[in-house]
A and B are shown apart, each in its own frame.
Chain A
Amino acid sequence: MSESVLNNQNKQQELITIKNITKEYPNTVALKDISFNIRRGEIFCIIGPNGAGKSTIVKLLTGQIKASKGEIRVHEFHTIKDRKKILGMFGLVPQEIALYNELTGRENLEFHGRLFDLSKQFMTQKIEELLTMAGLIDRQHDLVKTYSGGMKRRLQLIRALLHEPEIVILDEPTLGVDVQSRNAIHRYIRDLPSKGKTVLLTTNYMEEAERLADRLIILDTKIIDGPGRLLEIQERVFPNLIIEFKTERAMLKSDFLTIFLQKELKGKIISEKDMSEKHVLLQIIFDTIHIEEIFEKFIAYTKANDIPIEEFTLKRPNLEDVFIKLTGKEFRE
């Protein structure tokens, strides 16, 4: 396949193009020269601490605010100049609970459907389907103010899907939600690409991004890293591997094990924790990400030398480690 054909295909895949966006407020810069693309059918995640500019990107994308510099296009449409044309393409789940408390769950959905001019027949059918999916069918006639936080979040999510949008924007959709509701919401989000939706997810939960994102950027006013797959970013930023295992303290006395770990495997003991009188927990870091090679050599050596190994775990640096390494600061949730 020629390069131009490939380029063309990539271009077709690009649904949202964000180009050199800067957003300045009188006393602060919210975003600085941001550029990235979101491809059709992917879950694209923007991760960053509070105040990183995640919600500003959402507002810019939906045309609620204008950029100081740069432009955003959805398909070929400009988000400000062609706002009317793109509004129906988005299904927005805002960070805040934005439901009418004095209406029932069903009335909230019907109101949304009417604003988007859905036919009555389609709306009725779709509402039933979505309420069932979200597990809210039994509470559909209750006022929203009687719902729990998790139920409200789920209702917001299905409301955003009611008018069959092409792009679903989720601005911190699980903020302040209990674990069960969070898991349920994650399941719906994971299913969205299979229904032809493109998802933009902003979050400051690392684990959420790790579970859901196809590609992501790390944002803190400017793009710190990405866009790319989580693994790519992790490998690029933090090309290390950590193994952790429990062994007998006596094994360390002979120094064979430590010499093997340090000389043969090029590892470095970063922690040595007493677990009991006899046992110790070791943590070794390696300047490589090639798990198989390390693992094979380590197992072969311990077997050959009868070194008892318990609770062996292999760890990659998580997104939080990556963030700390990139920015030099703790992640502020």
Chain B
Amino acid sequence: MNSIVDERKKAVYKIKKWFRDLRTILKKDLISTKRVKKYFFSGVIPPLVMLFVFTLFLQISNPETYTVIVVDDDKSQFSEIMVDYVANISSDFAPWFTTIEIDTFDEAVALLQDFTYLGLIYIPSGFEANITSGIPDQKGMVYLIVQNINNDYVKNYMQRLDEAVLTFNEEVHVSAGSVDLFAVSLEKTYVIDQSVTNAKSITLGIIAMYGIICGLVFGALNIAKEYEDNTILEIANSPVRRTAYMASKQLIAVVLGGLVILILSILLFLLFHIEFRGDLSIVIISFVLITWIHSGIGCLIGLKFKRTMPVILVCIIVSMLLWFFTGGFAPLNILGENVELFSRFIPATYWTEILVAETLYPSFSYVIPRLAILVILSIVITLFSWYLISKEGFRS
């Protein structure tokens, strides 16, 4: 009986000691980082410079709102309802989309080709006649002609238009008394395969990249500095729990990275008027996960190179590569099938997708599986890096 009590006491002590170790190392690292300003500023200044550059060069050339032309050739009661649906889905919860009505199709196409507008919705004459004919195959047509399929805004808009047509089919036509519930068909045409860049997407890309960089750099630096200053000897010869040590090194990366991202997000809001429209808690959780994952990888880089300067260089190169392969630099589908496939094995892909989704077109069902993948990857990578560091990392 006594031995069971003793075992329980020992277990409780071990758990408490683990958290004490974690707190001790975390506190020490926070104090050190606060006093070594060059490390902190090397994390904060580059994103600020990048933001400044993008503000100067991109904000002017990219509109803050996207306008879609609507041409209603039918000019019937039903086509006008359809135009209202399109107008509503363009502005509801997405004020950056607006519509403008143009009288003739030819005039609209000319404006579209000048890149003045994002897309064109065309409702040809005979729309009402077709949907009220009662003939199943005779559908009212809505044509969408868009600039570029690769742009996140365009994708988002297409989803919205799909929803508009579906809602129209379900609500309006049923009330009109027809037996055919799906009398309107949407046809999408992508006329100009031209890459559309915009400040918002790029700035989000920068945030995505800094999620990666912060994890890698802060994780790697904290380990490399211990080796550079020989203080790893102090750790190696103390009874500190190895897992508590690693967890603290990763936590510090999350804390410092969080601070950098917070500054960036504030600037993002002030300069580009971008705010997270989705669930902020999901963005925070995914950020914590991605920084945690990359700090684990960073710790391995720190262990390998053991000196701060090579570590910073390697981390930046690795971050850039990861950024390129995860859709932060450019949409994955324009980078080719192989890159797209490869990106599925990189944790940052899911982080970028969640970030873009939560900012541009929030969708719970889209985000949750990606979040789950991040959780699994963070467990796997953490266990792997902890194993390697516990095995090799405390040898001086």
Contacts and interface: CB of A to CB of B under 8 A. Distances in A.
A316 interface: no
A23 B20 CA distance: 36
Nearest to B36: A102
Contact of B24 (A65, A94, A102, A115): A115
A92 B17 CA distance: 22
Given A98-B229, A102-B31, A59 B239 contact: no
A314 interface: no
The dominant DSSP class at the B interface is helix
Interface string B100-113: 00000000000000
A64 interface: yes
A87 B237 contact: yes
Q: How large is the interface on B (under 10, 10 to 19, 20 to 34, 35 or more residues)?
A: 20 to 34
Contacts of B229: 98-101
A92 B237 CA distance: 7
Interface in A15-74: 59, 62, 64-65
B24 A111 contact: yes
Given A59-B396, A94-B233, A117 B36 contact: no
Given A94-B230, A98-B231, A115 B32 contact: no
Nearest to A143: B35
Interface string B193-233: 00000000000000000000000000000000000011111
Contact of A115 (B230, B239, B394, B396): B239
B395 A115 contact: no
Given A90-B237, A115-B238, A100 B394 contact: no
Given A102-B32, A103-B28, A115 B21 contact: yes
Interface in B31-78: 31-32, 35-36
B236 interface: yes
Nearest to A114: B24
Interface in A162-216: none
A98 B230 contact: yes
B395 A64 contact: yes
A120 B36 CA distance: 27
B267 interface: no
A275 interface: no
Contacts of A84: 239
Interface string B224-259: 000001111111111110000000000000000000
B238 A100 contact: no
A287 interface: no
Given A107-B31, A117-B20, A98 B234 contact: yes
Contacts of A115: 21, 24, 234-235, 238-240
A312 interface: no
A137 to B, nearest CB: 21
A165 to B, nearest CB: 10
A128 interface: no
Contact of A65 (B17, B28, B232, B395): B395
Contacts of A135: none
A154 B35 CA distance: 23
21 contacts: A59-B396, A62-B237, A64-B237, A88-B239, A92-B237, A97-B230, A98-B230, A99-B229, A100-B28, A100-B32, A100-B229, A100-B231, A102-B31, A102-B35, A103-B28, A107-B28, A111-B24, A114-B20, A115-B239, A116-B238, A143-B35
Interface of A: 59, 62, 64-65, 84, 87-88, 90, 92, 94, 96-103, 107, 111-112, 114-117, 143, 159
Interface of B: 17, 20-21, 24, 28, 31-32, 35-36, 229-240, 394-396
Given A87-B238, A102-B35, 15 more contacts: A59-B396, A64-B237, A92-B237, A94-B396, A96-B233, A98-B230, A98-B233, A98-B234, A100-B231, A102-B36, A103-B32, A115-B24, A115-B239, A115-B240, A117-B17
